[in-house]
Amino acid sequence: MHYLDHAATTPLRPAAREAWLAAADLTGNPSSLHGEGRRVRAVVEDARERIGAALGADAAEVILLSGGTEADNLALKGLWWGRGGAGRIVTTAVEHHAVLDSAKWLADREGAELVEVGVDSAGAVDIDAFTAALPGATLATAMWVNNEVGAVQPVAELAAAAAAAGVPMHCDAVQAVGYEQVDFGASGLTTMAVSAHKIGGPVGVGALLARRDAPLAPLLHGGGQERKLRSGTVDAAGAAAFAAALEQVVAERDLERRRVEALGDRLATGIRDAVPDAVVRGAADGCSAHVVHAVVPGASSEAMLMLLDAAGVAVSSGSACTAGVVERSHVLQAMGHTPEESRSAVRFSLGWTTTDGDVDAALAALADAVARARAAGRMR
Ligand SMILES: Cc1ncc(COP(=O)(O)O)c(C=O)c1O
């Protein structure tokens, strides 16, 4: 199988597996005072320190939890309730559902006024509109790298605008950590979400980085772990594996970005040659190194994915799926694509295991998959 779906999840790195298994063999609750508990607590605190160091944060700013979805929920709902539970949320039209649906839930259930700032045809947030919506807002949120098309947002400028307006700002950096220079301390952000399984760590662990003065209310109550912001026994093995994966990513990031970008450029060029009317976005168009996205008029996402899968190439549409049917992408619609085009996308996402052979296989299968998907569409 040629796995080109790293934005969905990544193969586990050997260093992460090793750290995971070593810590999983320890018995002891990190909150227990006996020696066994203290041993596990030491694993957690070592991981916290290393996760913080890799991301430009102090250890005390690292709240360990179950992944990107939980981190986004804690940031949005936690900042909302922490700031009194009233007012306006400023977000963008292209956020991951973990952010967008949290914001919509707060609008529906809590009466939040929601401002969804639009993007241009490349997926970049309108900074002026974002800035104009900020004064008096309760919180603001914008993602760093878009998970569907790979668009990289001007996070530093957006965070500076939020800081100038005195508005706490969250950023979903789940897709950014692999290939962007992510420095939480320098970013000016109040909170930031990261997830281990997008960078070669295990599924089910992540972190919300939160400045010490972040006005966050907890969503989970219980034992008071993680600065009383996230009760529940801390997953020591997951944290150790996350730290191991993250350290490797940061150490190799520049080299890996160049390597993955070259593979992605070759893939994007090949797609344009094979399907001249496709709208292709890749690193050369200002997107993240690891995403090559194509809108293919007249071919449904499901048909292309299944035909590529049958040819041994694993890819996604990038947008949400309900009962096996790819939903119209809110991201592509915000970028100006028609509703039909927004169900005609294929996302190739590359990562640490991707080779020239994977790109060759994808390109060898693509023209036929597109032709057959288009023919199936015409028969419907
Ligand atoms: C941008 C973004 N945010 C949040 C998430 C959710 O992360 P997790 O799977 O760790 O809950 C994902 C993963 O799909 C993502 O790509």
pLDDT for position 321:
72
Helix and strand numbers (H, E) in the chain are 11, 14
- Number of alpha carbons in the 13 Å side-chain half-sphere of residue 224: 1
99 Cα to the center of ligand 1, angstroms: 10
Cβ 149 vs Cβ 282: under 8 Å: no
**Who's near 301: CB < 8 A, 6+ residues apart?**
317, 319, 326, 343, 344, 345, 346
Q: In the annotation, is 321 catalytic? A: yes
139 Cα to the center of ligand 1, angstroms: 20
Instruction: Name beta bridge partners: 346.
Output: 294
Q: From the CB of residue 166, how many other CB atoms can be counted at a distance below 10 Å? A: 10
Rounded CA-CA distance 124/126 in Å is 7
pLDDT for position 356:
98
pLDDT for position 378:
80
Percent of the chain with pLDDT over 70: 99
Rounded CA-CA distance 34/149 in Å is 49
The catalytic position among 21, 86, 164, 321 is 321
Pocket test for ligand 1, best of 97, 147, 177 (most atoms within 8 A of CB): 147
Rounded CA-CA distance 52/243 in Å is 9
Task: Label residues 128-163 b or e (16+ Cβ within 10 Å = b).
Answer: eebbebbeebbbbbbbbbbbbbbbbbebeebbbbbe
Average pLDDT (345-362) is 98
Protein residue closest via CA to atom 9 of ligand 1: 68
Rounded CA-CA distance 212/185 in Å is 11
Q: Establish whether residue 147 lines the binding site of ligand 1, counting it when its CB lies within 6 angstroms of any ligand atom.
A: yes
User: Which uninterrupted H or E stretch holds 309?
Assistant: helix 301-310
Confidence of residue 327 (pLDDT cuts 50, 70, 90): confident
170 Cα to the center of ligand 1, angstroms: 14
Kindly state the tokens that stand for 138: 């309760």
Q: Residues in the chain, how many?
A: 380
pLDDT for position 241:
98
Per-residue pLDDT reduced to its tens digit, 71-84: 999 999 999 999 99
- The answer to whether the Cα torsion of 332, 292, 268, 378 is positive or negative is negative
Average pLDDT (263-282) is 98
Q: How many angstroms separate the first and last alpha carbons of the chain?
A: 30
235 Cα to the center of ligand 1, angstroms: 19
297 Cα to the center of ligand 1, angstroms: 27
Tell the burial category of 176 from Cβ atoms under 10 Å away from its Cβ (0-12, 13-18, 19+): buried
Nearest one of 258, 289, 291, 263 to 357, comparing CA atoms: 263
Confidence of residue 67 (pLDDT cuts 50, 70, 90): very high
pLDDT for position 135:
98
Kindly state the tokens that stand for 163: 């800081």
Kindly state the tokens that stand for 347: 């996302």
Confidence of residue 284 (pLDDT cuts 50, 70, 90): very high
Q: Which atom of ligand 1 is nearest to the CA of 204?
A: 10
- Identify the DSSP state of 62: E
195 Cα to the center of ligand 1, angstroms: 7
Protein residue closest via CA to atom 5 of ligand 1: 68
Q: Establish whether residue 69 lines the binding site of ligand 1, counting it when its CB lies within 6 angstroms of any ligand atom.
A: yes
Nearest one of 148, 366, 151 to 273, comparing CA atoms: 366
Per-residue pLDDT reduced to its tens digit, 121-139: 999 999 999 999 999 999 9
Q: Establish whether residue 102 lines the binding site of ligand 1, counting it when its CB lies within 6 angstroms of any ligand atom.
A: no
Pocket test for ligand 1, best of 6, 65, 155, 174 (most atoms within 8 A of CB): 174
Q: Which atom of ligand 1 is nearest to the CA of 98?
A: 4
Q: Establish whether residue 172 lines the binding site of ligand 1, counting it when its CB lies within 6 angstroms of any ligand atom.
A: yes
Residue 323 has pLDDT above 70, yes or no: no
Q: Establish whether residue 318 lines the binding site of ligand 1, counting it when its CB lies within 6 angstroms of any ligand atom.
A: no
Confidence of residue 291 (pLDDT cuts 50, 70, 90): very high
Per-residue pLDDT reduced to its tens digit, 5-53: 999 999 999 999 999 999 999 999 999 999 999 999 999 999 999 999 9
Query: Cα-Cα-Cα-Cα dihedral of 311, 353, 281, 103, to 10°?
Result: 100
Q: Establish whether residue 68 lines the binding site of ligand 1, counting it when its CB lies within 6 angstroms of any ligand atom.
A: yes
Protein residue closest via CA to atom 16 of ligand 1: 147
Q: Establish whether residue 174 lines the binding site of ligand 1, counting it when its CB lies within 6 angstroms of any ligand atom.
A: yes
pLDDT for position 318:
85
Rounded CA-CA distance 228/8 in Å is 30
Cβ 334 vs Cβ 242: under 8 Å: no
Rounded CA-CA distance 26/151 in Å is 41
Per-residue pLDDT reduced to its tens digit, 221-250: 999 999 999 999 999 999 999 999 999 999
Residue 113 has pLDDT above 90, yes or no: yes
Residue 324 has pLDDT above 80, yes or no: no
Q: How far is CA 132 from CA 91, 92, 126, 169, in A?
A: 12, 13, 10, 15
- Domains of the chain (ranges, CATH numbers): 2-8+253-379 (3.90.1150.10), 14-248 (3.40.640.10)
SS (H, E, C) 139-161: EEECCCECCCCCEECCHHHHHHH
Residue 379 has pLDDT above 90, yes or no: no
Rounded CA-CA distance 182/196 in Å is 15
Average pLDDT (152-161) is 97
Pocket test for ligand 1, best of 192, 198, 242 (most atoms within 8 A of CB): 198
Percent of the chain with pLDDT over 90: 95
